[in-house]
Structure 1
């Protein structure tokens, strides 16, 4: 399978997504019929990681096979090293590692190169190694944790920019990923505009609801809003535009 060419994420769409929580996005996606968009196991590896968004640049591992998963494979044309060199600035590297937790897919050197390439973040259902070094690179990482053994101890790298399974979610190249302290959420590329519009409006609504709660309002009829509160919200929105 030939790798899919990576696409940029337009600046206006990026800025809109940075203003929307992953919680809001999952709610909007559920309303659109997509229930399986939260990447299981991909959790922030340090406190205070900022919200990030970008196009998915996918990498895929399969179970280790002793004739292929060797240290020598790191220098082959199909390697994580070659994949990193193909990553464009602003992308989010999404790595399907089969939820293996005893083989670190990347260490500090590879993560440092990703930073130099301008990669926005790394998302995986697996683990990394060289914890202090990786954190020292400044790369924002969403993963299951850390492990000392290298990737070849449990995985074989087979390709990039092809459909993958990451945390039980089907991720295609150039889908959009948004990450925050609640984890990582996938937005299918074809639904991006509709999701941004709905999620932005949902954030406005929930901000208004929160302001009402802080004033002492009761939840029934407010969250979700009944017709009376919808009219009140619309009146408020007109003052914000």
Structure 2
């Protein structure tokens, strides 16, 4: 169970996860009895071929009750929100944002990406909704996965519902500290109840077996031969 591991150990295991891929990890999670760990389809990386793994830092948003513009808001209130968000971040975490189905504004953008990367030390972000400022996010090299894009600002359109609390994102329950793995194929949530060390070790074995299977198939071996030898297709 990842709850019993130190933060450094978890991040070291996340480094190993980043050398794997979500289908292999998903297969092992299935074998371990955890079959509802993949977020729904449609999460696309802003930076092609990105891979990120880290403990979840959650943020839930929803449609705003007012239409106040940033210039009309109390600066102390705005700064307080940013402090509450960034102050809880720990190095190596992955930010997970749920918009409660509201797609009318960018739930994440350049300034948040810059702040969370350089001030908070986050590894990346996963957003169940649209984002904006995509060219600038690419420029700073911050891995973000999102379900779409839109140019409109979130100020006056969205409100913050919770920070670092349990929530649902992409159809999956996400708790603070669950490990997120995201790549081109999608996003996986690894619950803290999973033995992370066992999962990583078994997934590494799967990747090794698949690599050998791939090599032998390219050499002209039959599917039957390869499957009987490695148990993977």
- Which residue is 2:37 aligned to? 37
Task: State the shift of 1:42 in Å.
Answer: 2.2
- Which residue is 1:238 aligned to? none
Query: Over aligned residues, Cα RMSD in angstroms?
Result: 2.6
Runs of 4+ in 1 over 4 A off after TM superposition: none
- Which residue is 1:139 aligned to? 142
* Secondary structure in 1 matching 2:193: helix
Task: Please show how residues 54-203 of structure 1 align to structure 2 within 5 Å.
Answer: 54-66=54-66, 71=70, 72=73, 75-76=77-78, 79-80=81-82, 82-116=84-118, 117-152=120-155, 154-191=157-194, 192-203=196-207
Task: Please show how residues 12-31 of structure 1 align to structure 2 within 5 Å.
Answer: 12-31=12-31
Task: State the shift of 1:153 in Å.
Answer: 5.2
Task: State the shift of 1:230 in Å.
Answer: 4.9
Write out per-residue CA displacement over residues 111-134 of structure 1, whole angstroms, 9 at most, x where no aligned residue. 111121221001111111222222
Q: 1:57 to 1:23 in 2, by over 3 A?
A: same
Contact 1:42 1:125 in 2 (8 A): yes
Structure 1-normalised TM-score? 0.80
Contact 1:64 1:153 in 2 (8 A): yes
* Secondary structure in 1 matching 2:223: coil
Question: Which of 201, 205, 211 is the equivalent residue of 1:207?
Answer: 211
Partners in 1 of 2:82 and 2:170 — Cα distance?
19
Q: 1:133 to 1:230 in 2, by over 3 A?
A: closer
Partners in 2 of 1:135 and 1:230 — Cα distance?
39
* Secondary structure in 1 matching 2:7: coil
Q: 1:169 to 1:114 in 2, by over 3 A?
A: same
Task: State the shift of 1:9 in Å.
Answer: 5.1
Task: State the shift of 1:76 in Å.
Answer: 4.8
